[in-house]
Chain A
Amino acid sequence: MSFKVVNFNVRNKNESSTQIQILKALFSCGREKEDFLTSIKKYIYICSEQYLKTHAQEQWPQPIIFYQPYEVEQILLPDNANCLAVQAYLKMCGLEFQIEPRSNAEYMSPSGRVPFIQCGAFLVAEFDPIVAFISSKGTSLSEQLSQTDKADMRAYMSLVNNVLVNIEQYICWVDQTTLNSATKPRHGSVYPWPLNHVINWQKQNQVTKRLKVLGWYNKTLDEIYKEAENCCTALAERLEGKSFFSGEEPTELDALVYGHVHAITSTHFLPSTRGIINIVRSFPQLLEHARLINNRYFNCNPNLIIEDLDILKCMSDDSIWNSSRSLESLPSLTEDSF
């Protein structure tokens, strides 16, 4: 807390009233040999209150630019999920941002993963660091939660990151039908021949290596479905009866779950991966949750997900994933809304 006070001093030099109070407290504690913290405790509350007030209203000094791969031709399921999650989080925080698609976003990113945001001189990549960065600027959605709730939220977030992300990676890079008919053409689409094969091969090696280390590589598709079902069950149970995971206001967990659920349900994959979509769809709580976030923050068609279901039903089982189809559903989410 004392750190925040110092911070405040530096930031708002023109607003001297609280500063003077703190200085008084400092002087008095020196004189009366009281404990420093106890003497200024009463002022700290005022300070942090004012700090939050001024900073929440304050326009962010630099615009946020959001970098991601091309949504239409290039992006893959795991990246799409992460991009949607970060977009949802930024929207929940009420921050304006500008989407900048780049074919080499993955290589530009300081951590090698997408998405990343540029805010002034700062470049922050991936969901967790972005959340931390934004909260360091004074905007946080989980501030009011109790310690146990925070710990719970962290646990569920790591569940999503460890299970859903791996499932998505598995589907994209290990499942042969998806790999050959969707992942490779999409991932290599921005590079000329023969470079696309080199890049796909590199990425495939990288992902399979990671999945092998985590013990996911040797799983069968059925085991993957089982994992997905367990994860979704846990999330749905947590959500039971509430509109958001921690009550009436969204937190970062909501953004993350929204990103994954929406990415999975709104892409049309091959029959072999239809299973995963159907599993997610079998949890109405999650769909409702995603729909709510969609409505509230992305201002788009409330029936989108249900429409998607219809489209999916219309598609014959052996139809190959048609990227032009998926384009319609994905950009409609994002382009119309900003």
Chain B
Amino acid sequence: MGTVYAKEFSKPRDFGTPSSDNTSQNRSNYPRDYEHSAYFNKEQEALSRKPTAPETKTINLQEVKARVDKIHVDGLIRTKDDIIKAQVSELFKAQDFQDVLARALKVRERLESLGCFKNIGVYIDTSNGPDATPEGVEVTFTVRELKRIMGGINTMVGNNEGALIIGARAPNIFGRGERLQFEYSYGNKKSTNVNISAVKPFVNGSLHKVLTTSVFSTVSDLPWSGYKQSENGFLLDMAISPGATGTLKHNFQYEANYREVTAGKQVSFRVREQCGPSLKSALRHICSIDKRDGIIFPTVGSLVRITTEVAGLGGNIGFVKNEFLMQNNWTPHEYFTFQLGMQAGMLRGISNDMQISIVDNFFLGGPLNLRGFDMRGCGPRHDGNSIGGDVYWALALHLYTPLPFRPGRNSFGDLFRLHGFINGGNLSNFTFKFDNDFKENLKIFSENVRCAAGGGIAMKLGNVARVELNLIMPLYFIRSDLLQQFQFGIGLEYL
């Protein structure tokens, strides 16, 4: 085992020198091609895709023995050594050069996930000095710490609404990745959202744990259901994943939420009945496995997310809510990607003393949800207002292709895809009349199923949001549904 040096930023070492400088050293242990990999940043994509693909001469990197003698981390100012040690120490276990590369990449991701640094560079060099071993290498991470307070004004899209966000955050307050965030957003539909959260990562251990405490206050207008909703609450979230970048993630959450529903002027009495304050106190567990290669336009892999929420630990709202989400991607040809998305959910009350508010119900329809229907456009309605249901399913099959003739290939053009889709679903109320006879409840899959097919263009925005412009032909619907043939949708989540 070697030692970790948490170097001062002022250490006179020039990492900016071009790689030719390194090649000149030309140690016999290392293949010439991979001297370039000392500049790891640029090469890492190529490496991860084709781990062993030198064109002229095949060298098996696994046969090149290597031992990590020293790890340097440059640029630490207020970050504490112990959390850095915990992140990088696994690099010492590397046996051969390929292992060094793989582990260095992993460590880099872990450092990134601390959220304390920007621009993390990795340099691998042979070790020299009196303690150097024959196969020894030194790995240097150059990091730049984030400023104490950062702020910004930006725009965001979500839930089919554009919003202006004013945010400030203080990263790495006590040197161990703790951060405080503040966010205020004002949407174009008069919705406001204030969120203050404190995040504390626990990184010493095999499990990566992040504890988030946040206080929020939200006002949103839901004209499809005819009410305005204001929420003030508190959320405690513990995210646990094996390894910082693992695909499996568990979230354990506690939420206390004081909601108030205000009805508009001309509103169905069924909605008006729901007016007034309510207090939800709920535990939630979210388990997600995400093996996709992208969030917005994945080509392979699948995502499964199972959410269980139990409300009724205090408060006057009580229910059990289960939701299931799945997405599968399959690319048989470079130009064709199939995507199958599936969502289902069920909501049940737990006791007669506890109510279920309209706020907790499921709603279906919208340009990124069940396309072809207006927002909350299908499912139970009363006097023109959507009142939601307590069980739903939705299914969508997409076929994506790149733009024809590939304009702006590998750059701007990759933000767009053409897609054709067919989606369907149903939303209704669960009946308990027929105990143990689920035939009545299985009718949701056979009766009044909504279905629509169409095509359009989809665009990704900043790798988090998605914009779609679609032309849709509703195939199966019922009279009360609100249909839309042209839809423009913007949002974070999509079916």
B315 touches A192 (CB 8 A): yes
For A103, A106, A108, the residue with the greatest tally of chain B CB atoms inside 10 Å of its CB is A108
CB of A199 within 8 Å of the partner chain: yes
B279 touches A191 (CB 8 A): yes
A108 touches B275 (CB 8 A): yes
Residue of A nearest to B256 (CB): A194
Which of B258, B263, B277, B315 is within 8 Å of A108, CB to CB? B263
For B260, B262, B273, B277, the residue with the greatest tally of chain A CB atoms inside 10 Å of its CB is B277
A110 touches B258 (CB 8 A): no
B275 touches A107 (CB 8 A): yes
Complex Cα distance, B321 from A132, in Å, reads 46
A104 touches B276 (CB 8 A): yes
CB of B294 within 8 Å of the partner chain: no
Given A108-B272, A198-B258; A191-B277 close (CB under 8 Å): yes
Complex Cα distance, B326 from A118, in Å, reads 45
Complex Cα distance, B455 from A184, in Å, reads 59
CB of B314 within 8 Å of the partner chain: yes
CB of A193 within 8 Å of the partner chain: yes
A107 touches B277 (CB 8 A): yes
Complex Cα distance, B277 from A258, in Å, reads 32
User: What string of 1s and 0s marks CB contacts (under 8 Å) between A184-227 and chain B?
Assistant: 00000001111100110000000000000000000000000000
A195 touches B277 (CB 8 A): yes
For A192, the chain B residues whose CB sits under 8 A away are 279, 314-316
Complex Cα distance, B260 from A216, in Å, reads 30
Given A192-B314, A195-B315, A198-B258; A108-B279 close (CB under 8 Å): no
CB of B269 within 8 Å of the partner chain: yes
Which of A107, A194, A198 is within 8 Å of B276, CB to CB? A107
Complex Cα distance, B279 from A111, in Å, reads 23
For A195, the chain B residues whose CB sits under 8 A away are 258, 277-279, 315-316
User: What string of 1s and 0s marks CB contacts (under 8 Å) between A111-143 and chain B?
Assistant: 000000010000100000000000000000000
Residue of A nearest to B314 (CB): A192
In angstroms, how far is the closest chain B Cβ from the Cβ of A237? Answer: 42
For A110, the chain B residues whose CB sits under 8 A away are 265
A108 touches B276 (CB 8 A): yes
Given A108-B263, A108-B276, A110-B265; A193-B258 close (CB under 8 Å): no
Which of A104, A118, A191, A198 is within 8 Å of B275, CB to CB? A104
Q: Which 7 A-B pairs have the closest CB atoms?
A: A104-B276, A107-B276, A107-B275, A195-B279, A192-B316, A108-B275, A108-B272
Which of B260, B269, B272, B314 is within 8 Å of A193, CB to CB? B314
User: What string of 1s and 0s marks CB contacts (under 8 Å) between B261-302 and chain A?
Assistant: 111010001001101111100000000000000000000000
For B276, the chain A residues whose CB sits under 8 A away are 103-104, 106-108
In angstroms, how far is the closest chain B Cβ from the Cβ of A90? Answer: 20
In angstroms, how far is the closest chain B Cβ from the Cβ of A236? Answer: 39
For B263, the chain A residues whose CB sits under 8 A away are 108
Residue of B nearest to A103 (CB): B276
User: What string of 1s and 0s marks CB contacts (under 8 Å) between B391-419 and chain A?
Assistant: 00000000000000000000000000000
Complex Cα distance, B272 from A191, in Å, reads 18
A118 touches B269 (CB 8 A): yes
Complex Cα distance, B263 from A107, in Å, reads 9
For A103, A106, A107, A110, the residue with the greatest tally of chain B CB atoms inside 10 Å of its CB is A107
Q: List 28 A-B contacts (CB under 8 A).
A: A102-B273, A104-B273, A104-B275, A104-B277, A106-B276, A107-B260, A107-B261, A107-B262, A107-B275, A107-B277, A108-B263, A108-B273, A108-B275, A108-B276, A110-B265, A123-B272, A191-B279, A191-B316, A192-B314, A192-B315, A192-B316, A195-B258, A195-B277, A195-B278, A195-B279, A195-B315, A198-B277, A199-B277
Residue of A nearest to B317 (CB): A192
Residue of A nearest to B232 (CB): A198
For B279, the chain A residues whose CB sits under 8 A away are 191-192, 194-195
In angstroms, how far is the closest chain A Cβ from the Cβ of B278? Answer: 8
In angstroms, how far is the closest chain B Cβ from the Cβ of A59? Answer: 22
Complex Cα distance, B277 from A194, in Å, reads 12
In angstroms, how far is the closest chain A Cβ from the Cβ of B254? Answer: 15
Complex Cα distance, B226 from A162, in Å, reads 34
In angstroms, how far is the closest chain B Cβ from the Cβ of A229? Answer: 38
For A108, the chain B residues whose CB sits under 8 A away are 263, 272-273, 275-276
Residue of A nearest to B275 (CB): A107
Complex Cα distance, B258 from A104, in Å, reads 15
For A118, the chain B residues whose CB sits under 8 A away are 269
User: What string of 1s and 0s marks CB contacts (under 8 Å) between B238-267 and chain A?
Assistant: 000000000000000000001011110100
Complex Cα distance, B278 from A192, in Å, reads 9
For A198, the chain B residues whose CB sits under 8 A away are 258, 277
Complex Cα distance, B275 from A257, in Å, reads 31
Complex Cα distance, B315 from A193, in Å, reads 7
For window 65-108 of A, CB contacts with B under 8 Å fall at: 102-104, 106-108
In angstroms, how far is the closest chain A Cβ from the Cβ of B202? Answer: 30
Residue of B nearest to A105 (CB): B276
Complex Cα distance, B268 from A123, in Å, reads 11
For A123, the chain B residues whose CB sits under 8 A away are 269, 272
In angstroms, how far is the closest chain B Cβ from the Cβ of A222? Answer: 36
Complex Cα distance, B258 from A108, in Å, reads 17
User: What string of 1s and 0s marks CB contacts (under 8 Å) between A158-181 and chain B?
Assistant: 000000000000000000000000
Residue of A nearest to B353 (CB): A192
Residue of B nearest to A107 (CB): B276
Complex Cα distance, B267 from A118, in Å, reads 13
Complex Cα distance, B452 from A303, in Å, reads 70
In angstroms, how far is the closest chain A Cβ from the Cβ of B244? Answer: 37
For B258, the chain A residues whose CB sits under 8 A away are 195, 198
For A102, A110, A191, A192, the residue with the greatest tally of chain B CB atoms inside 10 Å of its CB is A192
For B316, the chain A residues whose CB sits under 8 A away are 191-192, 195
